[in-house]
Structure 1
Amino acid sequence: MSHLNKMIFGSFLALGTLVATSSYSWMGMWMGLEINLLSFIPLISTSKNMLPAESALKYFIAQVLASTILLLSIVVLSMKVFNLIESSFQSSLIFNTSLLLKMGAAPLHFWFPEVMEGLSWLNSMILLTWQKIAPMILLSYSSKTMMLLITSIISCMFVSGVMGQNHLSLRKIMAYSSINHIGWMIAATLYFEVVWMIYFLIYSVITLNIVIMLKKLNIFFMKQFTLMMNQEPTLKMFFILNFLSLGGLPPFLGFFPKWLTIQVMINESFYFLAIVMIVATLATLYFYMRITFSTLVLSMNSTLLTNDPPTYKFFITATNLVTLASLILSTLVFNLL
């Protein structure tokens, strides 16, 4: 695909998200989601090999199923088959289910890791970040079906912690990591949308740093990761720090949005859910630590980065300084809020 076509489809991808999030009607939101879907399919399907085409087909089937369920919720609400209260509740239940399927939240996550496995790092970055914006914002617009969303949050915690343990593919590990963060973002959306915005922004910056480094070294599997990172000690250090930040380990910046989310949940007296989320996230943190320790322990002869242009080094250093803020900075921002 030429660069011009990529720019056109990328523009329509952004347009679809903007239409969905700024529409005044449910049908307008549905149209925006469809524009976003039909723009992303050509970006991920290339003729170079079969994996992107397979991922595009899986993504298309899952998203069409979610769109069909969304349309069903609109029909249920408009027909008023039951009385108004029952119709509104059932419509909200179906609508929220379709949004959970669209964003890849557990237990409707079956398509997400499989689609990630066939994508390039650039398309993976889009799927991990931008494609979450519209469903999350629409979820904040809709009536909250608390039991469904709490079940999804707990499922995200446990599914990501258990399923992410035995994978050697870094794309699948990033997918299960994203499922864990989806659970935290849904919890933030339930009570305070500003916390969700802070969480999503920080998550996107950290994920961007990690994807840039993996794309730079053309790494997709753990074996490649261990070999290449020991030859690039500067990137190795940055990657380890960003990965720990993505896991929410203090004193890195990734801990700050989780801290905010826990604080909001405690203020709303959701003590049990907060405890379950904290304990279940420890399993996810385990495979973050496993990857970072493997690179530290398996050391080889290494050379410094000498062949990269100064602009690349500056970009890597500058973007990583953002994610390596200490708890002192986090405390100052938290007090300002």
Structure 2
Amino acid sequence: MFSSLPFMYMFFSVMGVGTLFSISSLHWLGIWAGLEINLIGFLPILVYQKSMSESESAVKYFVVQALGSSLLIFGSLNLYSLSFTWETLVSSNIGPSVSLFILIMGLFVKLGLFPFHFWLPSVMAGLPWLSCLLLATWQKLAPLCLTMSLFQFEFSYALLLVFCVLSAGSSFVGGIGGVNQTQVRALLAYSSIGHLGWIMFGLIHSEWVMKSYFMIYVFISFCLFMSLWYSNSGTMKNLGSLKESGLDQMSVMFMLLSLGGLPPLLGFISKWLVMVISINSHLWSFVFILILGSLMSLFYYLGLFFSLFLSNLKKSNNIKLSLYNSNFVLMLLLLLNLFGGLLILMMNVLEIL
């Protein structure tokens, strides 16, 4: 899954430099070049093990990212023909246009936001855990930051309404898409689509809320993917028979519940921030669709949680053994997800009082 050979560090460096170059660039041509450098560094990581599923996922990812890059460069070229400059500050301030919409659509294709979400579950289903973690977290950083830079300018109410519809659709698709999933990777892909809807809806109202949500999502995803990597659980059936049932199994399940946003876990705090910031907005009605998508995600998370909990009651001896043999890192990640959300919630309540 991960090699300590020097070329792997080189690919990681190229991927990171491409993202940072894209974020720090002031021209659309530099942004496009940074995204392409990031893609060049990420593709060899996907196909390192040379398995059939990884090669298929890498080809799908390359085709979709090429489509997003084509829309991005096409929209930026059209903006250049209108503003005669590559600078983002000037070309994005010319008002609503078809070119700007095409450019934003290219960013949404790279993110996997509804209705361009079709590629993400099939790509993540064939990747190892480390590649899934990078795809769900780091690869979303540059398109999100570029979308955030576009929101510095005044959009029309119709365009904001379109963004709200896409955000609500992402949350709804992320909730309903994971109901019949048996693969954990595909389930987490639909969960990522649902969280993208919340992130985009938070970005419409506040950049600080979007950054806070994304940081919490990255932290929970890191805890969950590391736990699944340690337990080597690729399907729902494997979750019921982990290497060490008991605390290791419960840690994975509590992290899934935290990712779903069950109060008072850490994942609930980010959703609570989005709901609070949107109360005084005229677009607050879309919050109900976002909550509905999260409830559908919690439905299959809780069903899986209770089935595993009842199966563990029949293995009381194994549970006692696992409490002593449990990995310390998993226990620490579990405690952070359990009490992190409660601690932040108490700090906010004390600040209000």
TM score, norm. by length of structure 1 = 0.91
Pairing 1:245–2:247 present: no
| Equivalence map 1:215-226=2 (5 Å) | 215-226=229-240
The list of structure 1 runs, each at least 4 consecutive aligned residues, that deviate by more than 4 angstroms after superposition, is 84-88, 334-337
Q: Which residue does 2:79 correspond to in 1? A: 77
Q: Secondary structure at the match of 2:327?
A: helix
Task: Give structure 1 stretches of 5+ with no counterpart.
Answer: none
Q: Which residue does 1:271 correspond to in 2? A: 284
Deviation at 1:227, TM superposition (A): 1.7
Pairing 1:150–2:164 present: yes
Q: Which residue does 2:176 correspond to in 1? A: 162
| Partners of 1:307 and 1:116 in 2: CA distance | 34
> Structure 1 residues 47 and 329, CA, compared in 2 at 3 Å: closer, same or farther?
closer
Instruction: Say which of 206, 210, 228 aligns to 2:220.
Output: 206
Q: Which residue does 1:285 correspond to in 2? A: 298
Q: What is the count of residue pairs matched by the alignment?
A: 331
> Structure 1 residues 317 and 184, CA, compared in 2 at 3 Å: closer, same or farther?
same
Contact 1:77 1:88 in 2 (8 A): no
Aligned CA RMSD, in angstroms, stands at 2.2
Instruction: Say which of 43, 46, 50 aligns to 1:44.
Output: 46
Q: Which residue does 1:332 correspond to in 2? A: 347
Pairing 1:129–2:137 present: yes
| Partners of 1:327 and 1:77 in 2: CA distance | 47
Pairing 1:261–2:263 present: no
Contact 2:46 2:55 in 1 (8 A): yes
Q: Which residue does 1:110 correspond to in 2? A: 118
Pairing 1:191–2:205 present: yes
Q: Which amino acid aligns with 2:345?
A: S
Deviation at 1:122, TM superposition (A): 0.6
Which stretch shifts more, 140-149 or 288-297?
140-149
Deviations 1:247-274 (A, max 9, x none): 1111111110100011111132322111
Q: Which amino acid aligns with 2:342?
A: L
Contact 1:188 1:196 in 2 (8 A): yes
Deviation at 1:161, TM superposition (A): 1.6
> Structure 1 residues 172 and 35, CA, compared in 2 at 3 Å: closer, same or farther?
same
| Partners of 2:106 and 2:18 in 1: CA distance | 17
Quote the sequence identity (%): 33
TM score, norm. by length of structure 2 = 0.88
Instruction: Say which of 95, 101, 104 aligns to 1:96.
Output: 104
Deviations 1:201-243 (A, max 9, x none): 11111111111111112110111111227x4211122122211
> Structure 1 residues 87 and 262, CA, compared in 2 at 3 Å: closer, same or farther?
closer
> Structure 1 residues 186 and 85, CA, compared in 2 at 3 Å: closer, same or farther?
closer
Deviation at 1:86, TM superposition (A): 8.0
| Partners of 2:181 and 2:161 in 1: CA distance | 31
Q: Which amino acid aligns with 1:97?
A: M
| Partners of 1:23 and 1:335 in 2: CA distance | 41
Q: Which amino acid aligns with 2:293?
A: A
| Partners of 1:153 and 1:217 in 2: CA distance | 33
